């Protein structure tokens, strides 16, 4: 049993307001972990701490450790930019670069990292769009603006963009909340496929989605990790009454 991420005593603040309280969680390699909980409980802050995006907010700070393959990303001398290269992020609202083509959206990170060989770029763009289940829909329109795609296609394009630089971990912050049911189903299928080669952490407010796509689930409430375990156990036999009340819809 191996763990891609090990979170130890992680707390986070916005100014004087503490939003995460001593989180401890080990994220299994090549699995999908869902983070659930009501609005405002710290879900998005939590995953933003896993790639050091939280500290980009003025007045925000973190304590504790986040080990990525054994290295503390908050350790002395660790470059946060290098961390963000290793940890891909897919946001709630699809955000393709509007002035770029489909091709250039996928290739942007590769070019930033120094890849300029056209044949290599072509191969990687095709491979990544196939991984994102988007190639067949856009292969004849690679010069088209990424922003002209449908919402579901844009989100898969953003996933392809994140995958292109071969991250070690992929974070998804409610990636289906702005999508219709058909597009949501495609993203969920993609998430299940990605666990073959990637470790994925997804934030979702949708209990059914967490049950469908994840192997493990963590329940956050008021900044605390109330319960964490394999998804079937969390949903069918939760150990904590608060967890049971949340997943059965008694609050949230």
| CATH of residue 135 | 3.40.50.300
How confident is the model at residue 113, as a pLDDT? 84
Residue 203 lies inside a defined structural domain of this protein:
yes
Show the tokens assigned to 42: 């710290």
How confident is the model at residue 35, as a pLDDT? 98
Bridge partner residues of 27 (DSSP): 5
Q: What are phi and psi of 22, to 5 degrees?
A: 50, 55
68: closest CA among 56, 79, 57? 79
Residue 235 lies inside a defined structural domain of this protein:
yes
Helix (H) or strand (E) holding 217: strand 216-221
Residue 177 lies inside a defined structural domain of this protein:
yes
Show the tokens assigned to 233: 């156990």
How confident is the model at residue 112, as a pLDDT? 87
Other CB atoms within 10 Å distance of the CB of residue 29: 16
How confident is the model at residue 86, as a pLDDT? 92
Distance CA 32, CA 217 (A): 9
The total number of structural domains that make up the chain: 1
Q: Do residues 151 and 179 make contact, with C-beta atoms less than 8 angstroms apart?
A: yes
Other CB atoms within 10 Å distance of the CB of residue 158: 25
Query: What's the domain range around 148?
Result: 3-247
243: closest CA among 57, 36, 43? 36
Show the tokens assigned to 82: 């290098």
Residue 127 lies inside a defined structural domain of this protein:
yes
How confident is the model at residue 18, as a pLDDT? 96
Q: What are phi and psi of 221, to 5 degrees?
A: -145, 125
Residue 252 lies inside a defined structural domain of this protein:
no
How confident is the model at residue 23, as a pLDDT? 98
Q: What is the pLDDT along the chain (252 residues), one digit of tens a residue?
A: 799 999 999 999 999 999 999 999 999 999 999 999 999 999 999 999 999 999 999 999 999 999 999 999 999 999 999 999 899 999 999 999 989 999 999 999 999 888 899 999 999 999 999 999 999 999 999 999 999 999 999 999 999 999 999 999 999 999 998 899 999 999 999 999 999 999 999 999 899 999 999 999 999 999 999 999 999 999 999 999 999 999 988 876
Distance CA 5, CA 106 (A): 26
Residue 175 lies inside a defined structural domain of this protein:
yes
pTM here is 0.93
Q: Do residues 9 and 22 make contact, with C-beta atoms less than 8 angstroms apart?
A: yes
Residue 236 lies inside a defined structural domain of this protein:
yes
Distance CA 90, CA 35 (A): 15
């Amino acid at each position: 049993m191996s763990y891609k991420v090990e979170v130890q005593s992680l707390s986070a603040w916005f100014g004087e307001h503490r939003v995460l309280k001593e989180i401890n969680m080990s994220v299994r390699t090549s699995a999908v972990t869902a983070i659930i909980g009501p609005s405002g409980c710290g879900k998005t802050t939590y995953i933003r701490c896993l790639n050091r995006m939280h500290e980009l907010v003025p007045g925000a700070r973190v304590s504790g450790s986040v080990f990525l393959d054994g290295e503390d990303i908050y350790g002395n001398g660790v470059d946060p930019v290098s961390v963000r290269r290793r940890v891909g992020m897919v946001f709630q609202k699809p955000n393709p670069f509007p002035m770029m083509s489909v091709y250039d959206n996928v290739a942007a990170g590769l070019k930033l990292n120094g890849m300029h060989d056209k044949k290599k770029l072509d191969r990687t763009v095709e491979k990544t769009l196939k991984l994102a289940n988007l190639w067949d829909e856009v292969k004849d329109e690679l010069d088209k603006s990424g922003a002209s795609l449908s919402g579901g296609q844009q989100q898969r394009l953003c996933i392809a963009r994140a995958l292109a630089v071969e991250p070690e971990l992929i974070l998804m912050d409610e990636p289906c909340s702005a999508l219709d049911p058909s597009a949501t189903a495609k993203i969920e299928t993609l998430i299940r496929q990605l666990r073959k080669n990637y470790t994925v952490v997804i934030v979702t407010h949708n209990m059914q989605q967490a049950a469908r796509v994840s192997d493990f689930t963590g329940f956050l409430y008021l900044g605390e990790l109330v319960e964490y375990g394999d998804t079937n156990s969390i949903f069918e036999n939760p150990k904590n009454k608060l967890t049971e009340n949340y997943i059965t819809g008694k609050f949230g």
